[in-house]
Chains A and B, each alone.
Chain A
Amino acid sequence: MRTSNQNDSDPDQDVVFEVRDLEVTFGTNRGESRVVRNVDFDIYRNETLGMVGESGSGKSMTSSALMNAVVSPGETSGEVTYYPPDGGEPISVLDLDEEELRKFRWGEVAMVFQGAMSSFNPVKKVRGHFRETLEDHNRDVEAGLERAHQILGDLYLDPDRVLDSYPYELSGGMKQRALVALALILEPEVLVMDEPTAALDLLMQRSIVSLLKELKEEYDLTIIFITHDLPLLTKLADRLVVMYAFDIVEIGSTEEILYDAAHPYTRSLLNATPDLNAPIEEMQSISGAKPDPVTNIPGCSYRPRCPMADESCAEAEPPMADRGSGHRTACFYHDDVADEIPIPAMEAAEEGGESE
């Protein structure tokens, strides 16, 4: 069956997560709100996968679904298959019961959320959080705390000082790094990070990204990093997933997405991204409003904002077109997009590179 379906996994890749037909819906009094729609993608072992999109594009919901962690009354359907390392039995994450989920989360897949402040219990010292996590998962507490020391040190923190502090005694950046250490304490395979740096200063953000790269190598991690900060993401991610209107519109290697983006939305997003090198007169916003999760736009969901849209975009939803080497995009006109929507910053960088 592998050959017939274009959504099948790349056989050359060691897949850790396989997501198929993923849907997340919420019932609202205005009707059914579909916040993730028919999402298909794979996550490869030991890669850093970046997910980018406007707020409300479905990226957080998609990542929560990886751990079957969509909060009620949200309904998750489709298939999420996790492949443990060393050829263990594949796990269908959406079919796990409470007890299995409890073991799966944190032990196999850990998650770091945006607000580090609210992830810690304010009346418990940081050491208590580490101890509690280790005890709950029946791990060797002493060995675990030893590892905590090491990870905290890797994150440029003074381990004893941090472990002996209450959360309020740490700055935002220190708390966020302590939270990363806590997420890694059970030696998970996969680390999901949802806007982990959004509330931090830019110097702290960039430093954490730099440290994450080192952690990933040291602890053999697969990282899924969700953010709307595209420039930061490109410094970390091997591959990028671009989400728009609750579905993936483009996926590919970071290089491909930066230099050969084939979806009008991706290119507009690149053009709307502030860049110290970009000629300022060329930078522009994406006009039009974000889509509503309750309404179903027939055809291509980006059509109302797309400068290239025509009648055919209204008639059918564009399928994912394969552009080779794992680069796929949902646009009928993916071959023409580069000519229609130039990226001045890219051209400026290329010209600059030539003249130097």
Chain B
Amino acid sequence: MSVDNSILSVDDVSVHFTDSSGFLGLFGERQTVRAVDGISLDIGENDVVTLIGESGCGKSTLGKTIIGAQEPTHGSITYRGQDIWEAKNSRDPDIPFSEIRRSLQIIHQDPGSALNPNQRILTSLMLPLKKWNPNLGEEERRKRIYALLERVGLTPAEDFVERFPHQLSGGEKQRVVLVRSLLLNPDVILADEAISALDVSLRVEMMDLMLELQDLFNTSYVFISHDLSNARYIAEKSGGRIAVMYLGRIVEVGPIEQVIGDPQHPYTQALKWATPNLYEGDEDDDLPIRKIDIPDPTNRPSGCHFHPRCPKAREVCKTNDPGAFEDENGHAARCFRADDTHEYWDSPSIVDD
């Protein structure tokens, strides 16, 4: 899955966490969580990629790895052709690591804890500008901050910058955090559940604002969410892609219309079931999964990792791990069912009832 003019290129990246703490490590077996397992993904200019999945599926770890905040245990991430972790460790990289860091920003879920409670908004916003644009005068910095604050609707800016975080509402705080990352003119912003903490009635507004600013600043977003309808909104409005993660892997990825409109993977279908619409007929209320709970990530099921929960699982799924089957539109799914000629179709079902 490649994109022209990619800014970031994630190539076969894995992040494994091994438990080696305490005396248990002496006796017990070391447990490894494969939070991210062999993922490749390209992010282009002005691109939007939404990552979606249940908690523990590795979407945040992948997100952090994409922006260079988490070192992968395997594979590489390149920023405009420069390997990020080589840049960090080598003495004379083509693009210095600090430059890469500035270009890849993050917005966290909880804006309350992302702002220093003891600093006025102005201080919180001045500091990054001062660090990265030391040549800018105080007046100039202030001007930029005011302009951007007014752009996101925090008016009058002169009044807002004098406030402390506790004097702002959740939505206002999240705007300040968005402004803070945009001040550095980044290429990619990772929004990790950035709107989940906001009231439902404010979410659409915040997503619209993020997309408006994308046009203005030419920023790409990696948008992480556990909520399919929010992911769909932002991906569809921006013409972006959606990637569905399960136990460290992307199990389905593609243009939003196809992934939502015609999901190939039974897991994506289950997520769609879990995102009810207000206006639709009485759909099937039976669980589309055989087990409600996610398997132990340190001991993932053999074959297709989804097979113990999958309502369509057959014998072959227990032993064979499906690769990605991609169609001509860039819509790919890691499920044998996406391949009309696979031996899966002759394999006996393992679903009881």
Contact = CB atoms under 8 A, between A and B. Distances in A.
Given A274-B204, A276-B277, A345-B278, A207 B289 contact: yes
A205 B274 contact: yes
Interface stretch (A114-122, A188-196, A277-285, A310-318): A277-285
Interface residues of A, number: 46
A207 B285 CA distance: 9
Contacts of A319: none
Contact of A202 (B274, B278, B281, B293): B274
Interface string A154-165: 001000000000
A187 interface: no
In the complex, which of the residues A207, A276, A277, A283 has the most CB atoms of chain B within 10 Å of its own CB atom?
A: A276
B279 A171 contact: no
Judged by DSSP, the binding face of A is: helix
Contacts of B184: none
A283 B275 contact: no
A228 B292 CA distance: 23
B228 A285 contact: no
Question: Looking at B233, B274, B287, which has the most chain A CB atoms within 10 Å of its CB?
Answer: B274
A348 B278 CA distance: 12
Interface stretch (A64-72, A134-142, A229-237): A229-237
B232 interface: yes
A275 B204 contact: no
Given A258-B279, A345-B279, A280 B201 contact: no
Interface string A188-229: 000000000000011111110010010000000000000011
Contact of B54 (A203, A229, A231, A289): A203
Contacts of A283: 204, 233
Interface stretch (B98-106, B131-139, B265-273, B319-327): B265-273
Interface in A339-356: 345-346, 348-350, 353
Given A156-B292, A228-B199, A285-B202, A274 B227 contact: yes
B55 A201 contact: yes
Contacts of A256: none
- Contact-residue bracket for chain B: 35 or more
A7 interface: no
Given A156-B291, A202-B227, A276-B260, A210 B201 contact: no
Interface centre among B54, B200, B270, B273 (most CB of A within 10 A): B200
B233 A280 contact: yes
A274 B270 CA distance: 18
A207 B274 contact: yes
Nearest to B291: A156
A54 B285 CA distance: 27
Contacts of B200: 54, 228-230, 272-274
Interface in B260-319: 260, 270-281, 285-287, 289, 291-294
Contacts of A278: 277
B28 to A, nearest CB: 16
The list of the 7 closest CB pairs from A to B, nearest first, reads A349-B279, A274-B229, A206-B274, A285-B205, A201-B54, A203-B274, A286-B201
17 contacts: A172-B55, A173-B292, A202-B274, A204-B54, A206-B275, A229-B200, A232-B276, A274-B203, A274-B230, A275-B278, A276-B228, A276-B232, A280-B237, A283-B233, A284-B204, A285-B201, A346-B278
Given A201-B226, A202-B227, A202-B274, 19 more contacts: A54-B200, A156-B292, A171-B293, A202-B271, A202-B275, A203-B54, A203-B292, A206-B274, A207-B274, A230-B278, A274-B200, A274-B227, A274-B230, A274-B233, A278-B277, A280-B236, A285-B201, A346-B279, A349-B279
